[in-house]
Amino acid sequence: MKECIKKNKVLLVLTIIFSTISSISIVGLSLFIQETIDVATSGNMDGFSKILIYSMIYGISIGVIYSIYDILSKVFIRNMTKMIRSKVFRGIFKSNYKDFTSINTADYISVLTNDIKLIEENYINPLLQILQYSVMFIVTVILLIYISPIVTVGLFVSMLLIFISPAIFGKMLEKKQLALSNRLSIFTTKIKDIFSGYDVIRSYGLKSNIIEEFEEENDILADTKFSADKLFVINESISQTLGMGTQFVAIFLSAYLVINGNLTIGMLIAIVQLSGTLVQPVIMIMSNVPKISSMKPVLERVDNFSNYVDNGLVGEDKPSLNNDIEISNLSFNYDEGIQILKGIDLTISKSKKYAVLGKSGCGKSTLIKLLLGYYFEFGGDISYDGNSIKNLDIDELNKMISIIHQNVYMFDKNIEDNICLYSKFSNEELNDALRLSGVDKFINNTEEKLNYLVGENGCNLSGGQRQRIAIARALIQKTPILVLDEGTSAIDMQTAYDIESKLLDIDDLTLITITHKSSGDLLERYDEIIYMEDGYIVEKGSYNDLVNKKDKFYEFYAV
């Protein structure tokens, strides 16, 4: 937050300057009122005409100055919220894989929407108001002392009670705001979960159950918001009531002085006006201070996302694969749970082809995630050309490896955007990727072709079409390493065979295929078959050697 304010300090200074001028101008209206009343009661028509003209000019000037202040404040709020949101988003994307996946994505959505809105409404806006009303308060006090020191002292004595309110409600409001922020996050998580599970809800006739669940969450959120709002209202009502009492003190004390001949009628009216511009700033300041203090936990939450520090793999060396990837005595478990990988020793040589097979849960995909640098708390070592992965720049490593996942994610864009992923490729490169992946077979059935919008997560496409696009996405990158993680499971057997066969034909590609089952014809073409069970590599070798051995792999494959 401090950094965002610092970067907008020039704008903030300009906002404060025009806020100061507008505040002084508004307070100065009381002098015009005093002069107008005194001139009117004395019957001075010339003086009345002059002050009427001056008042019109003064009123127009106040309007212009306040408009400038209003625009500057809105620009400041825009810049602040935009910068905070940007910092949070960048902080989230600094996260390593483990830290990112440890938090529900709905929490990220909530902090970027709900929490930023809370900061705008209950921190930035109140802060600007405090600055503005502080100036108004100071100028009013000066004018009141000038008109009547006695009334000024009376006002200050009667205002002491107003300062009690923030002390009473500050901590309570802080707890309410934190509860609201947490509840908004829970609500966002629930909504995301419901919409993501629409197919299941529809298929199993769960609409009434889900509506009931939603209404329950909606009630809790509304009650939590109302609980916070109710406390704000009580705080502001007490402040307003005490403020009105203070104004009554000013009116009756001034009236008493008029009766005694110590003040003119004009001065009385001016004091009544000034008492309003004295009490109102105090009320606003006292109402806004608890709002700002209540935002402390929300600001800390936002700062935690913004100032994320990666305690994982933070090496800076540029990775390479001129020789091989060496995996030695590798072991891994998720959060002190059951060990997933145990004593893995493996060499992956450049441009060779490897098939990793085994039952679900044997550790195949986890092994690949470790090769990609997704996790850093593992035993043993992984090295690229002799350089430990712990020394490598993981972002650069990811650029060397394309991965075709079983569960394909599609951005809500057109087919070409989902294949090229913000990069530019020649028509020849694009056409090759379309042909090898089989995308060209179905895009010709649409008028838009590559401009066809896939919808949210590819909802306008079949599972097979999405997987073909994912394959094209990986192929067009022409990375030295390609991982096929059950990447052809959603397409027909013939197309899957053709794609895998074409990948095996690429001489300078290091291919790692993770699969439950594959054609014997294809497996024969792999340089090495790696068979895993329960986190161990129990067998490795060529397809024919493993089949002839008739041991673990043979038993698995023959089923």
pLDDT tens string 17-70: 888 888 788 777 777 677 777 777 777 777 777 777 877 887 788 888 889 989
Last residue of a domain, one of 277, 306, 335: 306
Mean pLDDT, rounded, of the chain: 84
Residue 466's pLDDT band (cuts 50, 70, 90) = confident
89 and 149, same domain (yes or no): yes
Q: Residue 311 falls within a domain, yes or no?
A: no
346 and 299, same domain (yes or no): no
Last residue of a domain, one of 306, 332, 362: 306
pLDDT, position 430: 92
Q: CA-CA-CA-CA torsion for 164, 165, 171, 175, nearest 10 degrees?
A: 170
Rank 268-272, 274-278, 295-299 by mean pLDDT and report only the highest. 295-299
Distance between CA 509 and CA 372 in Å, rounded?
16
Distance between CA 18 and CA 24 in Å, rounded?
10
pLDDT, position 477: 87
14 and 90, same domain (yes or no): yes
Q: Residue 380 falls within a domain, yes or no?
A: yes
260 and 391, same domain (yes or no): no
Q: Residue 319 falls within a domain, yes or no?
A: no
347 and 300, same domain (yes or no): no
Read off the pLDDT of residues 169-199 as tens digits, 9 standing for 90 and up: 667 877 888 888 888 888 888 888 888 777 6
Select from 3, 170, 22, 13 the least CA-distant residue to 87.
Answer: 3
Using the Cα atoms of residue 66, residue 70, residue 75 and residue 77 in order, give the sign of their dihedral: positive
349 and 267, same domain (yes or no): no
Q: Residue 16 falls within a domain, yes or no?
A: yes
* pLDDT score of 328 more than 90: yes
The pTM score is 0.77
pLDDT, position 312: 65
Residue 271's pLDDT band (cuts 50, 70, 90) = confident
Q: Residue 525 falls within a domain, yes or no?
A: yes
530 and 457, same domain (yes or no): yes
Q: CATH code at 99?
A: 1.20.1560.10
256 and 162, same domain (yes or no): yes
* pLDDT score of 3 more than 90: no
Distance between CA 380 and CA 372 in Å, rounded?
15
Let me know: does 319 contact 393? Beta carbons within 8 Å: yes
Last residue of a domain, one of 306, 340, 369: 306
257 and 395, same domain (yes or no): no
214 and 358, same domain (yes or no): no
Read off the pLDDT of residues 420-443 as tens digits, 9 standing for 90 and up: 988 899 999 999 889 888 888 888
Read off the pLDDT of residues 526-549 as tens digits, 9 standing for 90 and up: 999 999 999 899 999 999 999 999
The tally of domains found in the chain comes to 2
Cross-strand bridge partners of residue 537:
532
Select from 407, 502, 416, 414 the least CA-distant residue to 463.
Answer: 407
**pLDDT: is 456 or 244 the higher one?**
456
Q: Residue 58 falls within a domain, yes or no?
A: yes
pLDDT, position 315: 80
pLDDT, position 349: 94
Average pLDDT over residues 73-91: 92
Q: Residue 312 falls within a domain, yes or no?
A: no
395 and 509, same domain (yes or no): yes
Residue 165's pLDDT band (cuts 50, 70, 90) = low
Q: Residue 405 falls within a domain, yes or no?
A: yes
250 and 354, same domain (yes or no): no
Q: CATH code at 428?
A: 3.40.50.300
Read off the pLDDT of residues 360-402 as tens digits, 9 standing for 90 and up: 888 888 898 899 888 888 899 999 999 999 899 888 898 899 8
**pLDDT: is 109 or 235 the higher one?**
109
Question: Which of 58-72, 112-126, 229-243, 293-307 has the weakest average pLDDT?
Answer: 229-243
Domain span at residue 419 reads: 324-558
